Structure 1
Amino acid sequence: MAEPLFSVRDLHLALPDMTRKPLFGPAPRIEILKGLSFDLPAGEITGIVGESGSGKSTLGRVLVRLLGVSSGQVLFRGKDISHLDEVQLKPLRRDLQMIFQDPMSSLNPRHTVGRIVASPIKRYGIDAPEKKAYEALERVGLSTAFAKRYPHELSGGQRQRVGIARAVALNPAFILADEIVSGLDVSSQAQVLTLLRGLAADMNLTIAFISHDLSVIRTVCSQVMVLNRGEIVEAGRCDQVFDAPQSEVTHALIDAIPLPEMDDEWFDSIKLDKV
């Protein structure tokens, strides 16, 4: 087992329940994450799976510090980042990147693809941002001709590749991938999953892959955490969890979604189209 990039200990998070906001005073708080403790091994893809409302996306946003915590620790490379303010977080932002579920809403429609990918590179003062943007596009299987196109001119799979290029262009240590193939057709899903697995290996990336689809988790992840109502009900290597699930929640998720066999030979059969 690799050394952990993240170590989370006794993590609690409560957020205001806006559905019960009174006329006066603050809204009551509802506990979303309940005492989570786990490690994310460096250089591996960890799946975070659960039904809607299980807390998986909230947990992802805590890891990249889009959300703080109520109590507990989130250690990144041994440093507790759970209570840092934005000024303190700024040096870490480059290492903590995110790929969003809907690339159309996360890509500025007024900007070209080249500008979208180069913008974060410029923000961090990295030399030759346009050159590095082109390299990032090539890395995700998009020719440099795409740099002059706009998001609406691309297919859904191509837009998601742009989102991936923007994330990997900064050479981060960690990427949060939140339901990134849920809106794609089967062919585009296969391409994106193959791309992500290849990038993780080539760049030694640590990835938290959030999904409600266990077949996708089994395809791309080496280990998995199953969440239910803000708690971890099962965790371990993917083959162990899927072959011998211990919790009723995992059993239910497996029964609900067929799990095709997608091994290394399957990945080898899926070639990343250069477009």
Structure 2
Amino acid sequence: MSEPLFRVKDLRLSLPDMSRKKLFGPTPRIEILKGLTFDLPAGEIIGIVGESGSGKSTLGRVLVRLLGVSSGQVLFRGKDISRLTEEQVKPLRRDLQMIFQDPMSSLNPRHTVGRIVASPLKRYGFDNPRRRAIEALERVGLPAAFAARYPHELSGGQRQRVGIARAIALNPSFILADEIVSGLDVSSQAQVLTLLQDLAADMNLTIAFISHDLSVIRTVCSQVIVLNHGEIVDAGPCDQVFSNPQSSITRTLIDAIPLPEIDDAWFDSVRLAEA
């Protein structure tokens, strides 16, 4: 069995509680993540699910080092990245990418799609960044002509594909996908989910897929971590967690959200429609 891409040990994170900020003295802190320990295997899509305020997005930002930690370890390929300085983190940035929930707010409206995708390639010194950007766009199903368009000229699903292209252009090992289909219609959701599965398989990507929608998690993820108030209350292979939940929180989430049966034929039909 290969070494996990991430190994997280007793992760704790406290942040200032601005609702209790004092006029004088230190601001009280609130513990957001409470002793999390888990592995993220390489080459799989792992779901991170929980209700609002469960800490799932905070955890995602710790994994891509947008947030530090209060204690514990976050091992990426065996190296603890939790307390690296920003200068020390820079070489890792191209390997740890993120796709944002709202592509319209994460794409510069004054830049063309080609420039948006090529910019990080230039920053990291890739040769022929424009050609690589077009290749990334084509890989997510957008023709080369889209490189000359602006974000406002695209549909929501197309904008999200641009965000995915920007992330994969750098050939990362890990991608954080935070609620990336929540604002899309059902058809666009299906297409983006299918695309993510195909990219994960083709590029051997590890993807942490954050969502509140358990039907989406069960559809695309091989494993799932269920959070509640900053603690892991369930974790394991999706089939196991959904068929035999160990926590009342997991059972409540399953009961509250319809989980349609989606099989390989469904994905095949989406791929056929896009061909």
TM-score bracket for this pair, using the shorter chain length = over 0.9
3-state SS in 2 of match to 1:198: helix
**Whole-Å separation in 2 of the counterparts to 1:8 and 1:176:** 15
Q: Distance in 2 between matches of 1:87 and 1:204?
A: 27
CA shift at 1:167, angstroms? Answer: 0.1
Mapping 1:158-237, distance limit 5 Å: 158-237=158-237
Distance 1:23 1:274 in 2: 58
Q: How many angstroms apart in 2 are the aligned matches of 1:255 and 1:129?
A: 48
TM-score (norm 2): 0.98
Residue 60 of structure 1 aligns to a residue whose secondary structure is helix
Match of 2:130 in 1: 130
**Matches of 1:53 and 1:199 in 2, distance apart?**
30
The match for 1:81 is 81
2:247 matches 1:247: yes
The sequence identity of aligned pairs, in percent, is 84
1:1-275 equivalent positions in 2, closer than 5 A: 2-271=2-271
- Gaps in structure 1 of 5+ consecutive residues: none
CA-based RMSD: 1.1
Q: Whole-Å Cα distance in 2 between the matches of residues 114 and 131 of structure 1?
A: 9
- Judging changes above 3 Å, is the alpha-carbon distance between structure 1 residues 3 and 74 closer, same or farther for their aligned structure 2 residues? same
**SS of equivalent residue, structure 1 residue 115:** helix
Structure 1, residues 225-246: CA drift from partner, whole Å, max 9, x if none?
0000000000000011111111
SS of the equivalent of 2:75 reads strand
Deviations 1:85-115 (Å, cap 9, x if unpaired)?
A: 1110011001000000000000000000000
Deviation at 1:25, TM superposition (A): 2.5
In structure 1, C-alpha distance between the alignment counterparts of 2:155 and 2:164, rounded to whole Å: 14
Q: TM-score, normalised by structure 1?
A: 0.98
Are the equivalent residues in 2 in contact too, given 1:141–1:273 (CA < 8 A)? no
C-alpha change, 1:182 and 1:142, in structure 2 (3 Å) is: same
Aligned residue type for 1:23 = L
Distance in 1 (CA, whole Å) between partners of 2:171 and 2:225 is 26
Aligned-residue offset at 1:262: 1.3
Q: 1:250 to 1:2 in 2, by over 3 A?
A: farther
Aligned-partner SS, 1:147: helix
* Structure 2 unaligned regions, length at least 5: none
Aligned equivalents of 2:12 and 2:109: distance in 1? Answer: 37
Measure the CA separation in 2 of the matches of 1:121 and 1:274. Answer: 28
Partners of 1:53 and 1:251 lie apart in 2 by 18
In structure 2, C-alpha distance between the alignment counterparts of 1:128 and 1:219, rounded to whole Å: 37
Tell me if the contact between 1:191 and 1:272 (Cα under 8 Å) persists in the aligned partners.
no
